[in-house]
Amino acid sequence: MEAAHITVAITGASGAVFGRELLRALEEDERVSRVHFVASENSLRVMAEELEFSGRTNLLEKLLGAAPTKTVLLSDDDIGAPIASGSHPSSGMIILPCSMGTLAAIANGLANSLIARAADVTLKERRPLLLCVRETPFNRIHLRNMTLAVETGAIIFPVIPAFYNRPIDSTEMACQFVYRVLAHFGLPQPGAYVWKAEE
Ligand SMILES: Cc1cc2nc3c(=O)[nH]c(=O)nc-3n(C[C@H](O)[C@H](O)[C@H](O)COP(=O)(O)O)c2cc1C
């Protein structure tokens, strides 16, 4: 695989720890040369609740726990960012967690923010788009939008973590979920739990 350029978005669904662990795994992965990262305005509200961060100041450093080496933070308002164009090389996009609002925008082609536009571009260029949706329960609009997105080429990869690996805390649960996401994206991770049923 060529050095990957991956777009990551965190939106305002619950599960910011999953997005944080995704960014950390990609920073560590030598097969990845660039991560373009966009946080929706509403994700900041959820991060404040769940990760106890406030505001955008040093957001990347706070998420990564260190200075970024390959991750670039883009503004969700910047519709002129490189990832807004299909001419920009990209290996695909992961939205983790993906809110029902962002799912709706993508499924209906609104392209009204950098996240929605980059997802739209990912679909039109036939690149992988993983929407790690999170809501419970789903209403019929959510289900319809998921179907619409899948029909256009997106992969619905819901934030439904595994329990058979007996995670000791939410970070381990998020890490193992992220490893599944990355394996699906063609970037299998060495620390991934592999189920071995007793013979
Ligand atoms: C603490 C908190 C948790 C939320 N959890 C969810 C969720 O799990 N799924 C969801 O679709 N929206 C959730 N929301 C609502 C979204 O943040 C809201 O719909 C927002 O408009 C999404 O905007 P965005 O997609 O631009 O980030 C939550 C909001 C808050 C404050």
Name the pTM for this structure: 0.97
pLDDT at 79 over 70: yes
The predicted structure's pLDDT at residue 103: 98
Distance between CA 145 and CA 126 in Å, rounded? 19
Of 15-24, 30-39, 45-54, 94-103, the one with minimum mean pLDDT is 45-54
Residue nearest to atom 7 of ligand 1 (CA): 13
* Contact in structure between 155 and 93 (CB atoms under 8 Å): no
Assigned token pair, 181: 């996401």
- Mean pLDDT confidence for 117-132: 98
pLDDT band at 199 (very low <50, low <70, confident <90, very high): low
* Contact in structure between 96 and 159 (CB atoms under 8 Å): yes
Question: Does residue 149 line the site of ligand 1, with CB under 6 A?
Answer: no
- Mean pLDDT confidence for 67-91: 97
- Mean pLDDT confidence for 68-93: 97
Residues in the chain: 199
- Mean pLDDT confidence for 19-39: 98
The predicted structure's pLDDT at residue 55: 83
Question: Does residue 99 line the site of ligand 1, with CB under 6 A?
Answer: yes
Residue nearest to atom 16 of ligand 1 (CA): 12
Q: How far is the CA of 123 from the centre of ligand 1 (A)?
A: 23
Question: Does residue 134 line the site of ligand 1, with CB under 6 A?
Answer: yes
48, 72, 131 from 36: Cα distances, Å? 22, 5, 16
- Residues 6 or more apart whose CB falls under 8 angstroms from that of 133 comprise 13, 97, 98, 99, 100, 103, 142, 146, 156, 157, 158, 159
Assigned token pair, 174: 């998020």
Question: Does residue 43 line the site of ligand 1, with CB under 6 A?
Answer: yes
* Contact in structure between 14 and 43 (CB atoms under 8 Å): no
Question: Does residue 126 line the site of ligand 1, with CB under 6 A?
Answer: no
The three-state secondary structure class of 44 is helix
The predicted structure's pLDDT at residue 53: 84
pLDDT at 113 over 60: yes
pLDDT band at 1 (very low <50, low <70, confident <90, very high): low
43, 64, 121, 140 from 104: Cα distances, Å? 16, 29, 16, 12
Q: Where do the DSSP E strands lie in 11-150?
A: 32-39, 71-74, 92-98, 129-133
How many Cβ atoms from other residues are within 10 Å of residue 178's Cβ? Answer: 27
The predicted structure's pLDDT at residue 2: 67
Digit-coded pLDDT (tens) for 89-108:
999 999 999 999 999 999 99
pLDDT at 75 over 60: yes
Distance between CA 34 and CA 21 in Å, rounded? 16
Residue 164 DSSP symbol: T
Backbone φ and ψ for 155, nearest 5 degrees, come out as: -110, 125
Digit-coded pLDDT (tens) for 169-181:
999 999 999 999 9
176, amino acid identity: Q
